[in-house]
Amino acid sequence: MSGTKMRFMLGAAALAMLSACGNVDSDEGSIPGLLAEAARQSVAQRNRTEVAEKVSPSDMAATALRVNKGPLILVGLENAATTQVLAMTGENSGQRTYMTTNEQAIILRDGMLAGTRGLGHDLSVAEMAPSSALIRSGRSGQANRVMRYWTGDGLERPLRLECSIGPGPKAGVILESCKNGPLEIQNNYIVQGGRVTVSRQWIGPDLGYVTIQELRP
């Protein structure tokens, strides 16, 4: 088994811890013919979509690792039911920006979600230094974080969360349980060498949770 596939399988295991068509005879240019052609195009598009959906995350990761030599992450947006590989496009003072080909971006600091761009209802910035220090060191404790979101009026709105950090029910998993009134969220992290390498993190009330797996540091 290749190192690439083994790396993905280990990451995937960690995350786990966390109609038939017939021929239609028709005359070209007639109404039945036009309808038949529209049906054929619809089926062809559906088939292309189904083929794309059959690309497994492991194959997606292996292809990305083969063609891109830089840092990569595998990202799954749970609400949108999408999985994509993102490549690092920039790094500034320990903060990394990973981007898709259509310029949707995830911003991480030491593997923890710091912001998003191009997803809609984006997280402008996450102020999480106290939480990050506890999580990356594997220590338990209490910490506050602030999540800031872009609104339709072009302003940032803060969401303040009180968080409790500690070990999860499964070995090696750190939980960050946060609340603000009736809102309760839970982030899951696996840390290696002081950096989060596999996680399930909450982006916000509209985008929901994202799973992030480091493919290449």
Q: What is the CATH number of the domain that holds 191?
A: 2.40.360.10
* 2 in a structural domain: no
Can you give the pLDDT at residue 170?
Answer: 92
Entry pTM: 0.77
* 38 in a structural domain: no
Sheet containing strand 72-77, strands side by side = 112-117, 105-109, 95-99, 82-92, 72-77, 208-216, 195-204, 183-192, 174-180, 156-167, 141-150, 123-127
Largest CA distance in the chain: 74
Tens place of pLDDT for every residue, the chain, 217 residues? 555 555 555 566 666 667 333 443 434 444 455 545 555 555 555 554 444 456 788 898 889 899 888 999 999 999 999 999 999 999 999 999 999 989 999 999 999 999 999 999 999 999 999 999 999 999 999 999 999 998 878 889 999 999 999 999 999 999 999 999 999 999 999 999 999 999 999 999 999 999 999 999 9
Domain boundaries, position 204: 57-216
* 93 in a structural domain: yes
Element (H, E) at 198: strand 195-204
Partner residues linked to 156 by β-bridges: 150
* 122 in a structural domain: yes
175-187: pLDDT as tens digits: 999 999 999 999 9
* 4 in a structural domain: no
Residue 134 contacts residue 165 (beta carbons within 8 Å): yes
* 73 in a structural domain: yes
* 190 in a structural domain: yes
Can you give the pLDDT at residue 56?
Answer: 87
Residue 23 contacts residue 40 (beta carbons within 8 Å): no
Residue 41 CA to residue 145 CA, distance in Å, equals: 50
Q: Looking at the 3D structure of the chain, how many domains does it have? A: 1
* 42 in a structural domain: no
